[in-house]
Amino acid sequence: MKVTASVAYLRRCHSRRLSALYRTRRHFSTTTTHLNKDDDSANVWKLTQEDVSHYWRGYLATRPKYTDTFYNLIYNYHASHPDSKPPSFSIAHDVGAGPGQVSAKLAQRFSHVVVSDNNENHVNYAKNFLSSTSVPASRFSFDVEKGENLGSKYLLASADLVVSALMFPLMDTMSALRSFHALLKPGGTLAIWFYGRAHFAELEYAGLCQPLLDGIINHHFSGVIAGGGPEHNAGWKHVADGIASWLDYIPFAKEDWGSVERHKWNAKWTSLGFFGNEACNFAVEPRSSVTDTEVVIERDDRNLWRKDWDVGQLREFVRYIYLFRGWRRNR
């Protein structure tokens, strides 16, 4: 099994300068996206404290492990800015940090990491997780806050790097970009990335097994996506459209962002989202804001973040892909 991915990075341009790694440099708050069918809550991950440890252990065991090669794409990009000699690796923000595994890696390069999430249970778990690493506690700070609000809460132009792993499609696009732009120093780097569900890398299995796996996942997600109110449906459509766009929907205005790079892996034979169009009770409409001044790099790599799983391990991936109804009951 392997995972499809997209990243973007960019620089905040000097007035300020992202694939689905998007890298950009800052040249650059949000309204609420409603995703919970029962109460139209903005908080997708509804965990009680007693569930947190169990869920995140399963999550971390079944999700891809970001490699040093992946992080070095971001770090090398950040260090390449001509006005940053030597480059600054002082402060990084991990927005929507979840269990904190990205924060742990960032702390290997940055002097201080701000670990934020809009869910207090997630932040508490990340705090406990990071306390088990070799990084001194003083090099982390923690905040229960929406990413869209961080720019008005922290010192302007104070961060060298802002990362958003898997969270950006859940946020209000323009509010989040304004927030991140306010955080970043001129020449600072924003990195946004997303990956999709597991795909069978072996051609002999893909034709038969992939539709079965997709059908199971879509069946579970359709019960979450369908049947909510207007805000709920609008929230899921925002997410689905953005992911189906391979993050190309994110607009990086030239007056705010520069040196935009959009990196995509395996886009020709996979889809990016955790769920497919079949799970949605609305039309999924990809869109693109890519300009001719941006760099787009596409790679085909069937070994990207590869895992060799048996059926039981694949079942665990599906189990921890999302907090479906009855998750506690069936654990």
How does pLDDT run along the chain (331 residues), one tens digit per residue? 656 677 777 766 543 333 356 656 544 322 233 344 444 443 444 556 777 788 899 999 999 999 999 999 999 999 998 776 789 999 999 999 999 999 999 999 999 999 999 999 999 999 999 999 999 999 999 999 999 999 999 999 999 999 999 999 999 999 999 999 999 999 999 999 999 999 998 888 899 999 999 999 999 999 999 878 999 999 999 999 999 999 999 999 999 999 999 999 999 999 998 999 999 999 999 999 999 999 999 999 988 999 999 999 999 999 999 876 555 545 5
Q: Which domains does the chain have, with CATH numbers?
A: 2-330 (3.40.50.150)
Per the rule left: phi > 0, alpha: psi between -120 and 50, beta: everything else, 40 is left
Task: Using alpha carbons only, give the angle 234, 164, 261 rounded to the nearest 5 degrees.
Answer: 100
According to the model, what pLDDT value does residue 329 have? Answer: 44
pTM confidence score: 0.89
Q: Where are the beta strands (DSSP E) in the chain?
A: 2-12, 21-25, 91-95, 112-117, 140-144, 159-165, 184-199, 257-265, 295-299
According to the model, what pLDDT value does residue 81 have? Answer: 81
Angle between helical axes of 49-62 and 120-131 (0-180°, round to 10):
60
According to the model, what pLDDT value does residue 10 have? Answer: 74
Task: Using alpha carbons only, give the angle 276, 243, 39 rounded to the nearest 5 degrees.
Answer: 80
According to the model, what pLDDT value does residue 25 have? Answer: 56
According to the model, what pLDDT value does residue 299 have? Answer: 95
